[in-house]
Amino acid sequence: MNNLPKFCFAMVISTLLAACKSEPIGGKLEGSYWTLSTAKLSDEAVKLSTDSEINLVFSEGNLNGTAPCNSYFAEYTTKGSTISLSELGATKRFCDEMEQENAYLSLLSKSQTYSVNGDKLDLFSTNGQLSFVRMKNDKAEATRFSQGVGKLAAQFPMLDAGDVQHLHPILRVDSPGNYPYKGTLIDTSFYKYFGADVRDVWIGSGGEVMAVGQFGGFFICRVPGRYVSSDIALFWIKDSEMQHVETVAWAWCDEGWCNQQDAWLTDTDKDGRTDVVQHYTLTDDRGKTKEERLTLLRQTEAGELLTDDTAKPEKGKFKMAKI
C-alpha cells in the first residue's frame, strides 16, 4: 500500500510532461525571415558557432538561406502543420564549420511538421528539432533586398565618365559596332523586380532589356523601343522594386524624316542631385533641321524629375551624337 502514492505521483508527472509536449500547430511561413537559435540532433544539442549566423527565408513557394559555409535552397509546401521540401540544394564551399552545417541541413531536409508561435518557429524532423527566432527588421530588409531587387541591381556596373554622362540611341540594334551603351541582357526571370507598368509591356510585347549601368543614383536600361531604336530609360529602386523614372533617349527614322533625342546626366546646379538635359531634333533626309529643342529635367529633393521651364541649356555644350 505504501507504494501506491509513489506510483500515483509518477503517473501525474508523466501526464504533465506529456501535456507540456505540445503538438505542432503549423502557421504562416510565406514571406517570413528567421534566424536559427537552437538545434537538436537525436535529443542532443548541436553546438552553434558564435562567428556566423544561420538564416532561413520562405518566399514564393521557395525556401532558402545561408548556413556557415554555403547558401541553400529548396521548394516547400505546407498542409496544416505538415511541411514538405523538395530535394535540398546548396553551394559547394568548404569551411571550418562544415560539421555544424551538415547537421543543420540534415535536420532541415527531413522536416515533417512545424509550429509558428509569434516570433518563434520550430521545425520537427525525424531526427531532431530546429528552433528559430524571427529575424530583426533591419537584417530582414537587407536580406529581402539582396534576394530580390538587389540581385537585379547587381547586374548594373557603375559608369565612370566624370561629371557628365551623354546617353544617345542607336538605330541598328542588330549591328551596334562600337556603340557604348550595348548593356548586358537581363533574363526575363528578373522582370518581376521591375514596376508593373513596364514589366507587363515587356512580357506582352517581347524585346530584349539590357542593363547598361548605374550613374548618379539612376539605373540605366536600354529597353524595347516603339520603332527601330532601343530607347534608353532611367530607373530607380523604390518600394523594393525597380521603377521607371523617365525614357530619356530615343530615335526614329522613317519616310525621309529622322527624330532623335539625346540625354545628358549631370548636376546642373551643383546641389548634389543628378539632373537630365535632353536635346531633340527633327531632320529631313537632306539633314536639314526642321525642329529642335533643349529641355532640362531638374531633380527635386524627393527625387522626381520635373521640367524646369525657366532653364535655357546652352546648345553648344550638348552636341548630339551622329547615329
- What pLDDT shows up at residue 4? 47
Q: Report CA 263 to chain centroid distance, whole Å.
A: 27
- What pLDDT shows up at residue 262? 97
CB contact set of 1 (below 8 Å; sequence gap of 6+): none
pTM for this model (two decimals): 0.70
Q: Quick check: 139 and 196 in contact, CB under 8 A? A: no
Per-residue pLDDT reduced to its tens digit, 303-323: 899 999 999 999 999 999 988
Q: Which of 162, 153, 181 is nearest to 266 (CA)?
A: 162
- What pLDDT shows up at residue 3? 53
Architecture of the structural domain at 24-147: Beta Barrel (2.40)
Q: Where are the domains of the chain?
A: 24-147, 153-317
Name 258's bridge partners. Answer: 253, 283
- What pLDDT shows up at residue 8? 45
- What pLDDT shows up at residue 16? 39
Q: Which of 103, 40, 44 is nearest to 68 (CA)?
A: 103
Mark the ranges of the chain whose per-residue pLDDT is less than 50. Answer: 1, 4, 6-20
Per-residue pLDDT reduced to its tens digit, 228-257: 678 999 999 998 899 999 999 999 888 888
- What pLDDT shows up at residue 126? 87
Per-residue pLDDT reduced to its tens digit, 112-154: 999 999 999 999 998 899 999 999 999 988 888 888 898 899 9
- What pLDDT shows up at residue 17? 40
- What pLDDT shows up at residue 12? 43
